[in-house]
């Protein structure tokens, strides 16, 4: 069964608690997801995976920068309201 929290109704405190719980659960799941030896054996000795991971990381960083610039512009243009936490 899947549950979808109504995050649009979360207070800032609830959102922080939810993010903390999700991060904990994801970290725990990932730490138990496989044996490093088996994973290394599956990946082999070529640099293909390393290169693909580096390419993904660079593309993701570039996208984050584009998203940040778009968000800042939307705030400056008044299309999005920003509220700082106290």
pLDDT, tens digit, 9 for 90 and up, residues 10-44: 999 999 999 999 888 888 877 766 777 877 887 88
The answer to whether 71 touches 63, Cβ cutoff 8 Å, is: no
How would residue 55 be classed by pLDDT, with cut points 50, 70 and 90?
very high
How would residue 83 be classed by pLDDT, with cut points 50, 70 and 90?
confident
pTM: 0.50
State the average pLDDT over residues 52-74. Answer: 96
pLDDT, tens digit, 9 for 90 and up, residues 39-54: 788 788 889 989 999 9
């Amino acid at each position: 069964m899947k549950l979808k929290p109504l995050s649009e109704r979360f207070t800032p405190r609830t959102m922080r608690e939810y993010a903390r719980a999700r991060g904990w659960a994801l970290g725990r799941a990932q730490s138990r997801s496989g044996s490093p030896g088996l994973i290394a054996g599956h990946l082999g000795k070529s640099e293909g995976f390393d290169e693909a991971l580096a390419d993904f990381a660079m593309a993701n960083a570039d996208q984050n920068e584009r998203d940040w610039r778009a968000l800042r512009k939307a705030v400056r243009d008044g299309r999005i309201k920003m509220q700082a936490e106290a």
